[in-house]
């Protein structure tokens, strides 16, 4: 299997972070929302992609 130290470190951090909240998704969500408020300058705002006025019908595959 492929060995990636960066990926392993990321998984370790994610596990420690979740464990610090007893794996409570609501608590994790609230913590992340609070971090967004504190660090607004770190958020990426992407422009809304709008489709052209060609047709509103769903695309056929």
How is residue 3 written in tokens? 């060995």
pLDDT at residue number 26: 99
How is residue 33 written in tokens? 């929302």
pLDDT at residue number 52: 75
d(CA 19, CA 59): 43
How is residue 46 written in tokens? 């992407």
Binned average pLDDT, 10 residues per bin, the chain of 61 residues: 91 98 98 95 89 68 70
């Amino acid at each position: 299997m492929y060995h990636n130290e960066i990926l392993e470190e990321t998984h370790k951090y994610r596990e420690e972070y979740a464990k610090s909240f007893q794996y409570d998704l609501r608590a994790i969500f609230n913590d992340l929302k609070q971090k967004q408020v504190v660090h607004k300058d770190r958020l990426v705002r992407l422009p809304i992609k709008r489709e052209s006025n060609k047709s509103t019908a769903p695309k056929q595959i």
